[in-house]
């Protein structure tokens, strides 16, 4: 591109990526209402369409809103009011989605946590968010009962994955899994879902709270740029802004479409893109509580979803599924990858796979983080260059700065990615220091978030992700922070020091590997190793558990005495 052409482009467009958008679709207006109110508004003429498909049980929007209303009333009957925090610890079931919108309807705040979290993680999340009520899946109750009295939770609602299954499947689930699951006796503090909902049916008052876009809607979790676990507050406006953006970048989605919701609700991508987006577009969401890569072909052939979002791990499973050979994918409109970057080679392989299976679209990559309510950029509207993560969504702005000088860089120069837009979180819960470290106001009053990631913008304003500045792993699409794993391992009474790195994994992309130095006099016996592994299983979520535990006499250090992780990576390669 000549110097003259660049000058003309700057005059014509405020941003180089503007050329991909029609003039009236380069920005958005965020409605001043709650998530629930937007959901209702977008479906007032769509009540007979299917909202949720769960193991073949279909819930139309009319019934979906009735169930949300009853759940909202049940929450109010148990003392929950606007501003209260309710923790949801459930897999992808109708009860989880209904609870989420019911909490929002009454002006309360949903705290979403992983049902496979360790008991200490569950306790810390409940305490740090000041949650007063817990809605949990039954398989997590064994952990919950050990910590719940240390929290301010005064009511626990127990949900079974079988509650909303069709009758035959429900019986099968109870025989194979439900009968083995430890659950409490019904009491004043512990209610089963059906008993909880019954209380809502007898509650007569109107429960819709007047909520603005600035008010908090949900608390999600991430390690931020430092690896220290943080509670991320997202407002109604943050998440609803994504809906307005998606209407522009995915214009083909209609009420006749369906989305395969494999990504879990405690994950920002799963909650915002997998559930709120399709439902606000009048489409249906197919809830999958537990993904089995070996049965991926059966999911596709049974449900025929027209939109398939996932993390790179999911598409790796697609390529490796031996039963996919004769599966026709011509019905799919969009294949979306997020949560981590799908490298160019894998991107090309997925595109080739889709083409061979009659799919008329290629995979579209996006880039974002929990602190930005999910997607920041997206390879839509012809911007999907191979290896890129697309253009900023309408209303978003992206710039690249020098890591050291903090000065803006030119196109095609690699630096830290900064993001500005309506989806930026207001901050971390009760953590002003961490908020100020990641959010920065410029001279024009615009708020930018430091992503801690490296990338560059090309001449067309298309973003290319390079690597992470922060020492973070992506395990099956989940953020895993080595420093958090190290803290847990070094808390073990036999451990002196620990360093954790990521190692390649054929399915999960990467997994943690722990290098451990034991205290003087402690020998690395099989019993010691088992003791440390058991300790990790108690205090870390399953997806955070190290794949390997290696004992060392000492760990390599940098000039200033810190563990040299690059040297550890070299040692790992030599040992392999």
Rounded average pLDDT per 10-residue block, the chain, 576 residues:
53 86 95 98 97 96 98 97 97 97 98 92 96 96 96 97 84 67 88 96 90 97 63 98 97 95 92 97 96 86 95 81 90 90 80 94 94 95 89 98 93 95 98 95 95 93 85 83 87 92 90 94 95 95 94 80 82 83
Three-state DSSP at 441 gives strand
> Structurally, how many domains does the chain consist of?
3
DSSP one-letter code for 420: E
Residue 570 in domain: yes
C-alpha–C-alpha distance, residues 434 and 358, integer Å = 48
* pTM given for the model: 0.85
Residue 12 in domain: no
Instruction: Examine the domain organization and report whether 307 and 444 are in the same domain.
Output: yes
Which of 449, 468, 487 corresponds to the end of one domain? 468
Residue 161 in domain: yes
Q: Specify the CATH number for the domain of residue 525.
A: 3.30.300.30
pLDDT of residue 291: 83
Cβ atoms of 199 and 174 closer than 8 Å: no
Instruction: Examine the domain organization and report whether 362 and 447 are in the same domain.
Output: yes
Instruction: Examine the domain organization and report whether 355 and 495 are in the same domain.
Output: no
- Closest alpha carbon to 422 in 271, 245, 545: 245
Instruction: Examine the domain organization and report whether 157 and 187 are in the same domain.
Output: yes
For residue 545, give Cα distances in angstroms to 272, 363, 518. 27, 30, 19
C-alpha–C-alpha distance, residues 510 and 572, integer Å = 14
Name the residue range of residue 165's domain: 35-42+52-211
Instruction: Examine the domain organization and report whether 459 and 568 are in the same domain.
Output: no
Token pair for 412: 């095609």
- The upper half-sphere exposure of residue 188, i.e. CA atoms within 13 Å in the direction of its Cβ, equals 1
Instruction: Examine the domain organization and report whether 194 and 256 are in the same domain.
Output: no
Three-state DSSP at 249 gives helix
Instruction: Examine the domain organization and report whether 463 and 533 are in the same domain.
Output: no
> H-type helices in 290-447, by residue range?
296-303, 312-320, 344-356, 432-438
pLDDT of residue 225: 43
pLDDT of residue 338: 87
- Closest alpha carbon to 104 in 290, 280, 258, 309: 280
Residue 22 in domain: no
C-alpha–C-alpha distance, residues 137 and 193, integer Å = 10
User: Is the Cα dihedral 239, 241, 243, 246 positive or negative?
Assistant: negative
pLDDT of residue 222: 80
Instruction: Examine the domain organization and report whether 425 and 489 are in the same domain.
Output: no
Instruction: Examine the domain organization and report whether 385 and 284 are in the same domain.
Output: yes
Residue 290 in domain: yes
Instruction: Examine the domain organization and report whether 242 and 305 are in the same domain.
Output: yes
C-alpha–C-alpha distance, residues 255 and 253, integer Å = 7
- Closest alpha carbon to 307 in 341, 344, 340, 282: 282
Which of 468, 487, 507 corresponds to the end of one domain? 468
* C-alpha 84: how far from chain center: 23
Residue 117 in domain: yes
Q: Specify the CATH number for the domain of residue 374.
A: 3.40.50.12780
Which of 468, 495, 518 corresponds to the end of one domain? 468
Instruction: Examine the domain organization and report whether 327 and 453 are in the same domain.
Output: yes
Instruction: Examine the domain organization and report whether 302 and 342 are in the same domain.
Output: yes
For residue 262, give Cα distances in angstroms to 204, 245, 411. 36, 22, 36
Residue 567 in domain: yes
Residue 221 in domain: no
Q: Which neighbouring-strand residues pair with 415?
A: 455
C-alpha–C-alpha distance, residues 301 and 224, integer Å = 38
Three-state DSSP at 234 gives strand
C-alpha–C-alpha distance, residues 467 and 417, integer Å = 10
């Amino acid at each position: 591109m000549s110097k003259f052409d660049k000058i003309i482009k700057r005059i014509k467009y405020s941003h180089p990526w503007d050329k991909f958008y029609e003039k009236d679709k380069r920005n958005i207006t965020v409605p001043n209402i709650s998530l629930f109110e937007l959901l209702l508004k977008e479906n007032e003429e769509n009540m007979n369409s299917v909202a949720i498909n769960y193991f073949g049980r279909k819930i139309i929007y009319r019934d979906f809103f009735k169930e949300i209303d009853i759940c909202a009333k049940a929450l109010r009957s148990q003392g929950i009011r606007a501003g209260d925090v309710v923790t949801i610890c459930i897999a992808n079931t109708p009860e989880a989605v209904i609870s989420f919108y019911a909490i929002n309807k009454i002006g309360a705040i949903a705290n979403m946590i992983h049902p496979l979290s360790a008991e200490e993680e569950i306790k810390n999340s409940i305490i740090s968010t000041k949650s007063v009520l817990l809605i949990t899946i039954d398989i997590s109750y064994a952990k919950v009962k050990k910590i719940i009295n240390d929290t301010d939770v005064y009511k626990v609602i127990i949900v079974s994955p079988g509650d909303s299954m069709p009758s035959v499947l429900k019986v099968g689930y109870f025989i194979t899994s439900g009968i083995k699951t430890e659950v409490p006796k019904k009491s004043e503090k512990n209610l089963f879902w059906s008993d909880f909902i019954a209380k809502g049916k007898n509650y007569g008052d109107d429960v819709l709270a007047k909520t603005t876009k600035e008010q908090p809607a949900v608390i999600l979790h991430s390690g931020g740029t430092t690896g220290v676990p943080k509670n991320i507050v997202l407002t109604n406006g943050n998440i609803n802004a994504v809906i307005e953006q998606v209407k522009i970048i995915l214009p083909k989605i209609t009420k006749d479409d369906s989305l395969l919701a494999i990504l879990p609700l405690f994950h920002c991508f799963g909650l915002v893109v997998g559930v709120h987006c399709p439902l606000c577009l009048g489409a249906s969401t197919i809830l999958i509580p537990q993904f089995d890569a070996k049965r991926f072909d059966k999911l596709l052939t049974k449900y025929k979803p027209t939109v398939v979002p996932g993390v790179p791990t999911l598409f790796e499973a697609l390529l490796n599924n031996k039963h996919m050979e004769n599966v026709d994918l011509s019905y799919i409109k969009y294949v979306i990858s997020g949560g981590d970057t799908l490298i160019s080679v894998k991107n090309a392989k997925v595109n080739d796979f889709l083409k061979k299976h009659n799919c008329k679209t290629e995979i579209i990559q996006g880039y974002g983080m929990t602190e930005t309510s999910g997607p920041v950029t997206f390879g839509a509207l012809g911007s999907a260059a191979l290896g890129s993560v697309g253009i900023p969504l309408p209303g978003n702005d992206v710039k690249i700065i020098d890591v050291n000088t903090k000065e803006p860089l030119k196109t095609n120069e690699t630096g830290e990615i900064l993001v500005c837009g309506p989806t930026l979180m207001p901050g971390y819960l009760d953590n002003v220091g961490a908020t100020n470290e990641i959010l920065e106001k410029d001279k024009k009053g615009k708020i930018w978030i430091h992503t801690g990631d490296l990338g560059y913008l090309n001449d067309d304003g298309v973003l290319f992700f390079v690597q992470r500045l922060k020492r973070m792993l992506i395990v099956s699409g989940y953020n895993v922070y080595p420093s958090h794993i190290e803290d847990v391992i070094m808390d073990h009474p036999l451990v002196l020091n620990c360093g954790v790195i990521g190692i390649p994994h054929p399915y999960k992309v990467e997994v943690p590997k722990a290098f451990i130095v034991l205290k003087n006099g402690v020998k690395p016996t099989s019993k010691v190793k088992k003791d440390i592994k058991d300790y990790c299983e108690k205090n870390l979520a399953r997806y955070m558990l190290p794949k390997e535990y290696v004992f060392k006499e000492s760990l390599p250090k940098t000039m200033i005495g810190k563990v040299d992780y690059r040297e550890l990576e070299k040692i790992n390669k030599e040992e392999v």
